Structure 1
Amino acid sequence: MFSGSIPALVTPFRDGQVDEAAFRSFVDWQIEQGSSGLVPCGTTGESATMTIEEHNRVVRICVEQAAGRVPVIAGCGSNDTRIALEHMFAAQAAGATAALVVAPYYNKPNQDGVFQHFAYLAERCDLPIILYNVPSRTITDIGIPVMHRLAEEFSTVIGVKDATGNLGRVTAQRLACGPRFCQLSGNDETALGFNAMGGVGCISVTANIAPRLCADFQSACQSGNWEAALHLQDRLYPLHDAMFCDSSPGPVKYALSRLRNDMPTEVRLPITWPSGAARTTVDRALEIAGLV
């Protein structure tokens, strides 16, 4: 089972291309700082504006550089079921541990369509699947009855990244899918409550910036040291909030530019560099967290 602090990695771009050297160095830093897993090609990694070739290359680089030190959960989602399967096959061939597969976006399938999408993938590829439920972006929700049916019928559907913001779902999903179903928060700011209700970790945006603090926070939760976890939550909360004070991952890349000289600052359209007000918000959050 996956657990702990698992950053949804940014993808460094330089002159319009993936900066492989910077990405490899970033992977090493994340592992050294205590991250317990890695997610390349998620939302924060700007997967929506990568070519299929770039996407698969970034997953491969991440697996190679991690070299078995931590598991790699490869972003494999698409609103085209066939493309999602292509990504899964490529991730499996690269040696990824699991696939993170978002609910189909834009198409707005009904709940049967959502089930059939994931069933199609699970029937054709045995790479473990973590469902990614983020209806604020996809419009489509992975309903709890669908989640239950998927977990019951397919042993490779092993968990969920829940970015609904509805903490009550942690209990409802555990009751529906069983205690072995791996529940990871998709929202840093509610990860404390999520863990208290039965979650086991977070696929994190903030961990790009503060991997050690996020790892310590998750460790405190896992050991039941809620006083220490609350202290770290208060220290990190302004940073959690600042990461979305402008369109993500602009604020994330700005924060990284203040901490690491080797990380390029490029974002891909339609994402733009964060505004001056947003950068000021990030600066203040970095100070509160004690990172600058």
Structure 2
Amino acid sequence: MIKGSTVALVTPMNQDGSISWESLEQLLEFHIENGTQGIVSVGTTGESATLTMAEHKAVIKFTADYCRGRIPVLAGTGSNNTMEAVELTKTAAEAGANLTLSVVPYYNKPSQEGLYQHFKTIAEAVDLPLMLYNVPGRTVTDMSNETVARLARIPNIIGIKDASADISRVQAIKAMAGQDFAMYSGDDATSLDFLLAGGDGVVSVTTNVSPRAMQSMCMAAIEGNRELAERLDASLQPLHKNLFLESNPVPVKWALNLMGLIPPGIRLPLVPLAEQYHDQVRQALIESGVL
């Protein structure tokens, strides 16, 4: 089980929108050197919605090849098409990813039974640990605690990234699914409370720009050092707030470009961060000690 901070990694792109493989390698090394505990490749923050299937597979393979034996890779393989999710998950297994992150199907608005059958089909098709991803703010459908607990009985479904910001779910799900079922926060702003409630880690946007501080905060909370965790979290709150001024990953890609880590590219329908927010994001980076 990964303990601490996993980064929801951006997919770096050149001005023309093509993938910057050189910058991707630089980002991976940056996280390995700065204590990040896991890499999510091609999740929401990685612009999975606008990568072609071939690009999606290529980024996962590149990431898995580079990170092999150094840091766990969680391949983003979710889809609102169950068979497409199975295909991506098979690709992740072949590429050598350590586990997969599979989002609740978006747009279709499936029932709880539909969610169960969707994830059961993926898990049974590919012998690779699978982490569920519940993010009702993007998918509309909210996976219930009961459905999560039901899925937890499938051997290779090992945990969930929960971005509902409902802290009560941590112990409610662990009570039904077992204490070994891994719980990761997908909401940076409330991640401290999630960890103090018994969570095992975070899958974080903020970690893109401040990996060492996020890992330190996570471990302080997990180890029960509330005072240190609260102090570290307070220093990160400007990032938690201002990296979501526009839709993720718009602000964090702008911030990483300002830090000199990636080119400025992003794909339509997303566009670069509006100029009116530049000073706010820059100031958040300064207040949090990144710049």
TM-score by length of 1: 0.97
Q: Which residue of 1 aligns with 2:265?
A: 266
Cα deviation, 1:19-62, whole Å, max 9, x if unaligned, reads 11110111011110000010010110000100011001111111
Q: Which residue of 2 aligns with 1:191?
A: 191
Partners in 1 of 2:201 and 2:274 — Cα distance? 31
Partners in 2 of 1:156 and 1:13 — Cα distance? 33
Within-5 A mapping of 1:89-104: 89-104=90-105
Establish whether residue 275 from structure 1 lines up as the match of residue 269 from structure 2.
no
Within-5 A mapping of 1:53-132: 53-132=54-133
Q: Which residue of 1 aligns with 2:284?
A: 285
Q: Which residue of 2 aligns with 1:157?
A: 157
Check the 8 A contact 2:5/2:204 in 1, yes or no.
Answer: yes
Q: Which residue of 1 aligns with 2:202?
A: 202
Per-residue deviation, 1:222: 2.4
The unaligned stretches of length 5 or more in structure 1 are: none
Aligned residues: 290
Partners in 2 of 1:159 and 1:67 — Cα distance? 22
Per-residue deviation, 1:277: 2.3
Look up the SS of the partner of 2:38 in the other structure.
Answer: coil
Per-residue deviation, 1:112: 0.7
Q: Which residue of 2 aligns with 1:17?
A: 18
Check the 8 A contact 1:4/1:200 in 2, yes or no.
Answer: yes
Look up the SS of the partner of 2:158 in the other structure.
Answer: strand
Look up the SS of the partner of 1:227 in the other structure.
Answer: helix
Partners in 2 of 1:217 and 1:265 — Cα distance? 29
Which amino acid letter does the alignment assign opposite residue 23 of structure 1?
A: L
Which amino acid letter does the alignment assign opposite residue 291 of structure 1?
A: V
Partners in 2 of 1:169 and 1:240 — Cα distance? 21
Per-residue deviation, 1:210: 0.5
Q: Which runs of 4+ in 1 moved over 6 A?
A: none
Q: Which residue of 2 aligns with 1:35?
A: 36
The unaligned stretches of length 5 or more in structure 2 are: none
Per-residue deviation, 1:221: 1.6
Partners in 2 of 1:157 and 1:97 — Cα distance? 13
TM-score by length of 2: 0.98
Comparing 176-185 with 214-223, which one deviates more in the overlay? 214-223
Partners in 2 of 1:13 and 1:255 — Cα distance? 14
Q: Which residue of 1 aligns with 2:170?
A: 170
Look up the SS of the partner of 1:48 in the other structure.
Answer: coil
Per-residue deviation, 1:63: 0.9
Partners in 2 of 1:290 and 1:145 — Cα distance? 41
Which amino acid letter does the alignment assign opposite residue 280 of structure 1?
A: D
Check the 8 A contact 2:196/2:222 in 1, yes or no.
Answer: no
Identity of aligned residues (%): 43
Partners in 2 of 1:28 and 1:288 — Cα distance? 25
Look up the SS of the partner of 1:264 in the other structure.
Answer: coil
Look up the SS of the partner of 2:41 in the other structure.
Answer: coil
Partners in 1 of 2:196 and 2:277 — Cα distance? 31
Check the 8 A contact 1:41/1:55 in 2, yes or no.
Answer: yes
Per-residue deviation, 1:216: 1.2
Cα deviation, 1:160-193, whole Å, max 9, x if unaligned, reads 0000011111111111111000000001111110
Which amino acid letter does the alignment assign opposite residue 83 of structure 1?
A: E
Per-residue deviation, 1:67: 2.2
Check the 8 A contact 1:3/1:184 in 2, yes or no.
Answer: no
Check the 8 A contact 1:248/1:271 in 2, yes or no.
Answer: no
Which amino acid letter does the alignment assign opposite residue 158 of structure 1?
A: I
Partners in 1 of 2:123 and 2:289 — Cα distance? 44
